[in-house]
Chains A and B, each alone.
Chain A
Amino acid sequence: MIEIDRITKVYDDTTVVDEVSMTVETGTITVIVGTSGSGKTTLLRMINRLVEPSSGEVRINGEVTRDIPTHLLRRRIGYAIQGHGLFPHHTVARNIAAVPRLLGWPKDKIARRVDELLTLFGMEPAAFRDRYPAELSGGQQQRVGVARALASRPDLLLMDEPFGALDPIIRGRAQEDLRAIQQKLGSTIVLVTHDMEEAIRLGDRVGVMDGGRLVQHGPPEEIVARPANAFVAEMVGDAERPMRLLSLIPVRGLVEPGAAGGDPVPEGASLRDALSACLWTGRDAVPVERGGAVVGRITLDAIRGRVEHRA
């Protein structure tokens, strides 16, 4: 568990981060979203003390970070940044091995870990181990960057706009991969982005920052359905709100008995997918499947009812 306790950063006379407190539960993703200048990156960098807080403290599993020498603290915290930051003169394997080497792991343990991570990120170890970053595609470089941040099984993974340099299609895939890997490993992640779409898609909890303050912090549904102020509403985007909300709710909860025509949607899909299927095929309902078998249907009315109810 990561506790951020009334943390503040003041540069000269400007308060960049103003008494922000939040708790990040172990094994969850917290996304901090805000415009540039909102203090989100400074907040993130205060967690691994790349920026020293002016006041307040951060505790990792109860341990106050102020008391740990910075380089030792940072070796316990994974850090992935925009533009991956890979070392161009080191191979993929050596890049991933960077923190384990700093920690003095034995060579064979490092080699096993590198292969394990490459496999996890869908990169054949024998083919990629000895390549240099310049020989990889943008998406592969980004994956190696995240793999490197995860290499020593850190208590916490900090990510600063990790997908910012990727094109939209690769970015979507990278987000899905991160979600899957996070669930598999049970990692604790704090991710900073300016993209509300990304925040809603990835976050178990979303924190919205504006002018150095944390203006709202909660599950994504709550951010979309009940924005705390005009700024959050604007970040969510009024016109986008119903769609964003639908994309957060799985079909599973609204399945009703009965038959419908057309191709079935999986029950794990979002209401947004179901709505899209209805509109595209011109039907009022589409069938829902679980493991290949149709288990019922979902209707346009049910979807509408769900959104109206929320609003």
Chain B
Amino acid sequence: MPVWGVAGPVTTAIALAAMVAGVALGLQAARPWWRLGGSLLGLAGLVLLLSRGAGALLVDAGDLARVSPAAGFWCLLLVFMMLMADALSALRPGPRLRLGLLALFLVGLAALLASGALSELSIMQEYRGRVAGFRTAAARHVALALGSLAAAAAIGFPLGILCHRRARLRSLAIPVLSFLQTIPSLAMFGIMIPVLAWVAATVPGAQEIGIAGIGFAPAFLALLLYSLLPVVANTVAGLDAAPPAAVEAARGMGMTDRQRLWSIELPLALPVILAGLRIVLVQNVGLAVIAGLIGGGGFGTFVFQGLNQTATDLILLGALPTVVLALVSAILMDILVDFARRTPKRESA
């Protein structure tokens, strides 16, 4: 079947025209708004072709037939996404505008998925077969990534503050945490199995609160261990970066250690501390995939099922949401860092 036969000559022509126009607009180096528009136009053309084409290909093809986008689609998607990213970075939108654009993008994506335009695609059919499983996996994935982040923050902030004040603790803690960071992730998840199995078997009450060799607990613990170094190191670095004269002045004017920490050192360290949390969040969203290997749940479940069955679409069903989740968390955290970096507005003085 010729290319234009798949989605019909009119649709194909419109979509191709949109993509060509998108690329043409994308070449306007000096006009970032045009480039942004070009990328959106190109994406629209690409999605139009994808949604119309899938339906046409499946007519009379039997129940077991599946349609997936091939290399050409992914290449074009990459091109237009890079164009969009490049245009956005040239526009330098403020944090509020970025938040708005992100919300717009997510609403658009949700609308596209809900509209059913892509429902003929193989990956969406895999999804339809696993709606309940997908929801559980998504919730578990977020719980693993955010939960380990929260636990790392709860342990890491106080530890970082102590390390900042006591040089000996710092020279002990940072190398240990750095060592943990060098353990390959597969090995780390593997190590957790016998360790927690032993804990579950020997410590009374451990099993009742859900500690076991496989499942959520070892995955959570492994992610937590990976998260500690960025949190502690950035807390120390942020506190160290407070201007020495300001800290000396705070001491000299009679602030107690606690007052100095809360009103001078921590606010000044906040952007660096948040940057550490950003690293941890993005890292954990990615690493949480491996939890699928040890029964920890999350999107990794689909990835490893797909790998075992050589089912590419199942792998994508796990991988694509992970990528979106990582991107969204990275952008959200960047926006937060930006807000913290701006000179704070005057409090009621």
Chain A residues packing against B (C-beta within 8 Å):
48, 50, 70-76, 78-79, 81-89, 91, 93-94, 97-99, 102, 107, 110-111, 130, 132, 134, 145, 148-149, 158
Contacts and interface: CB of A to CB of B under 8 A. Distances in A.
B247 to A, nearest CB: 8
Given A74-B254, A81-B245, A99-B254, A89 B268 contact: yes
Interface of B: 243, 245-246, 248-256, 259, 264, 267-268, 343-344, 346-349
Nearest to B256: A71
Nearest to A71: B254
A89 B344 contact: yes
B268 to A, nearest CB: 6
A91 B346 contact: yes
A83 B245 contact: yes
A150 to B, nearest CB: 11
Contacts, number: 78
Contacts of A71: 254-256
Contacts of A50: 248, 251-252
A102 B246 contact: no
A128 to B, nearest CB: 13
A88 B248 CA distance: 13
Contacts of A85: 243, 245-246, 248-250, 252
Given A88-B268, A130-B346, A132-B343, A99 B249 contact: no
A87 B347 contact: no
Contact of B255 (A76, A88, A102): A102
Contacts of B268: 88-89
Given A74-B252, A94-B349, A102-B259, A84 B343 contact: no
B253 A111 contact: no
B262 to A, nearest CB: 12
Contact of A73 (B248, B254, B255): B254
A97 B348 CA distance: 12
Closest 7 pairs between A and B when the two form their complex, measured CB to CB: A85-B249, A74-B254, A79-B252, A75-B254, A85-B245, A83-B245, A71-B254
16 contacts: A50-B252, A74-B251, A78-B253, A81-B248, A84-B249, A85-B249, A88-B243, A89-B268, A91-B346, A93-B346, A94-B347, A102-B255, A110-B349, A132-B343, A149-B253, A158-B252
